[in-house]
Structure 1
Amino acid sequence: MSAHHVRFKQVDVFTSTPFKGNPLAVIFDADALDAAQMLAIARWTNLSETTFLLKPTDAAADYRVRIFTPGGELPFAGHPTLGTAHALLESGYQPKQAGKLLQQCGVGLVELEALAGADSTPSAWAFAAPPARVTPLAEDRYDALATALRSRAIDFSAPPCAVDNGAPWLVVRLTSARACLELEPDAAALAELAHSVDTHGLAVYGPHDADGPATFEIRCLMAGGGFGVGEDPVTGSANAALAGLLNLQQRRPGERYTARQGTALGRAGDVSVHYDDARGKIWIGGPTVTIVDGTCRLA
């Protein structure tokens, strides 16, 4: 029996500098694979996510994607959305509508657009944040939160909330970017708290000074349970959750802002947010760069 190969790319998302963003593996032409095979590949790549490109079943969509962590399938995730779009466009795909893509995934249809000011190369795109369910953290858990983060710099004037847009995060505001970067959380207590509110982990953020490198510093502290332990380098779903929550809490810093993520891991994640009030959308964007380009042997 001859070997079966499909196209494969490994890309770095939310950066234009190789090795400074969040890696993603993309498997093309994956229609013949079942969920068990996809999970086996995701466990082998051992990245936070691996995506599988499929023919859409919705006629409006440009493509369909399934997103797997080494622990299971996700209905949505942000950096895989941007990374998959980049890989597909780089392979020569022509969108149904120039400058736009419609991705079919577990949460339904997700819109993408080329970032304003991007050049002709499809390296900087944004996705429209999916609708989210927001649940404020019960006040009787505030002490547990402070204990888990080992921090007294939590800004409770912006109540911590669990935000689920297909990838659930407990979003917590700190008084400053410095306080965010200085966090040394209690991993066991953090995992207990995150699991108690059915989230993947905590998305903790703090504002930079006016002359800082970005509007906010953000860190995504994972809670284990199949989604990894430790810290995620750059997280589209968490940045979408934060953007939506800032809007809901009437704390957004303007029509546009930027977030830096991954600093504590030696990365330099570059996230842009645009509140598109005219269309009622929030766009989460950033550049992607291809690191590995070739084929993957499936059998």
Structure 2
Amino acid sequence: MKRRFVTLDVFTTRRHAGNPLAVVLEAGGLDTEAMQTIAREFNLSETVFILPPENPAHRASLRIFTPGGELPFAGHPTVGTAVWLALHDDAAGSLPEMLVLEEKVGPVSCAVEVKGSHAGHAVFTLPRLPERLGEAPAIAALAAATGLAESDIGFDHHVPALYSAGVPFLFVPVATREAVARAKPQAAEWQAAIGQGGAFLYTRETAEPGHAYHARMFWPGTGIGEDPATGGASAAFAGVVMAYDRPGDGDHRFVIEQGYEMGRPSQITLEMSVRGGVLASARIGGSAVLVSEGVLL
């Protein structure tokens, strides 16, 4: 049967920037193998398949695939799909202020706002707060894996760390934006140090004023050489911010810029609520714009 799809650029307010996303709108009847095949055909960092929700109070159920496998949770698919659903519901005259998407990590609550006929904004609450995992690889191994010098890695109190808010990521602090720009995964050394995992390189030196961090994300093990914007990693990054920057009690907002070296500038908003010295909740927000519509034959 024919199945409609759309593509959106996510974590941007303009087309041909941000992170491209494919959304298959009628995924009923597709098994895992078929979804994986379609994701490989799109060859974007993620492809979403929309299914009816198990809970009728929720808006939809999502399955999320990279070209190399399925993810239980991801940020740019959540934001992009929420924006498309908001556009669809608004056109039907039934736009809710909040919608819930079922992902394998659990229900994800999204506040949505429509901005014209082809764009919108979504903010979702992390379904799982970040947790620290095991020990990060040694700095020497990370330098070899990323093509950097050992002196490039680390700044202030920041050191490499592993965190997950549903999907594990390795976070590598880099002293300067110039060093982030010249990072280049080295295949053998990457496999030895990092394996199939993704590495989020970040620095305080930003390309645009008012932003808090500049980042690049490499994840060759899932078929993603470099990702223009990684909401799932930004969600886990809240744990890094708490551990090393120690924001005080209150509400905090950080803008993470990513994808600039790829010519796909993206802005991801990380909101954190700190109570009693611990992270009480966190949210990821961003804009998305509709780019194309089509039919899978």
TM-score between both structures, scaled by the size of structure 2: 0.86
- What SS is found at the alignment partner of 1:239? helix
- What SS is found at the alignment partner of 2:191? helix
Cα deviation code 1:31-67 (max 9, x no counterpart): 2211121112112111121111111112442210001
Percent sequence identity over matched residues? 34
1:289 and 1:75 mapped to 2: Cα distance? 24
* Structure 2: 5+ residue stretches without partners: none
Q: Which residue of 2 aligns with 1:160?
A: 160
Q: Which residue of 1 aligns with 2:40?
A: 43
1:49 and 1:24 mapped to 2: Cα distance? 6
Matched-pair contact (CA < 8 Å) for 2:207–2:214:
no
The answer to which of 9-18 and 57-66 deviates more is 57-66
Alignment of 1:52-201 (within 5 A): 52-92=49-89, 98-114=96-112, 123-131=120-128, 132-138=130-136, 141-149=138-146, 150-151=148-149, 152-155=151-154, 157-195=157-195, 200-201=197-198
Cα deviation code 1:145-187 (max 9, x no counterpart): 1222223221163231112223221011122333322323423
Matched-pair contact (CA < 8 Å) for 1:171–1:241:
no
Matched-pair contact (CA < 8 Å) for 1:14–1:286:
yes
* Structure 1: 5+ residue stretches without partners: none
2:93 and 2:274 mapped to 1: Cα distance? 25
2:240 and 2:186 mapped to 1: Cα distance? 25
The answer to which of 272-281 and 55-64 deviates more is 272-281
TM-score between both structures, scaled by the size of structure 1: 0.86
Structure 1 pair 217/210, CA: closer, same or farther in 2 (3 Å)?
closer
The answer to which of 91-100 and 56-65 deviates more is 91-100
Structure 1 segments (4+ residues) deviating >6 Å:
93-97
1:232 aligns with 2:227: yes
2:208 and 2:230 mapped to 1: Cα distance? 24
1:232 and 1:135 mapped to 2: Cα distance? 22
Structure 1 pair 100/147, CA: closer, same or farther in 2 (3 Å)?
same
Following TM superposition, by how much is the alpha carbon of 1:265 offset from its aligned partner in structure 2, in angstroms?
0.6
The answer to which of 51-60 and 140-149 deviates more is 140-149
Alignment of 1:282-297 (within 5 A): 282-297=282-297
2:255 and 2:45 mapped to 1: Cα distance? 23
1:57 and 1:218 mapped to 2: Cα distance? 36
1:262 and 1:182 mapped to 2: Cα distance? 14
2:184 and 2:5 mapped to 1: Cα distance? 37
The count of corresponding residues between Structure 1 and Structure 2 is: 286
1:258 and 1:238 mapped to 2: Cα distance? 13
1:229 and 1:294 mapped to 2: Cα distance? 24
Matched-pair contact (CA < 8 Å) for 1:79–1:236:
yes
User: What is the alpha-carbon root mean square deviation over aligned residues?
Assistant: 2.7
Following TM superposition, by how much is the alpha carbon of 1:6 offset from its aligned partner in structure 2, in angstroms?
2.6
2:227 maps to amino acid? D
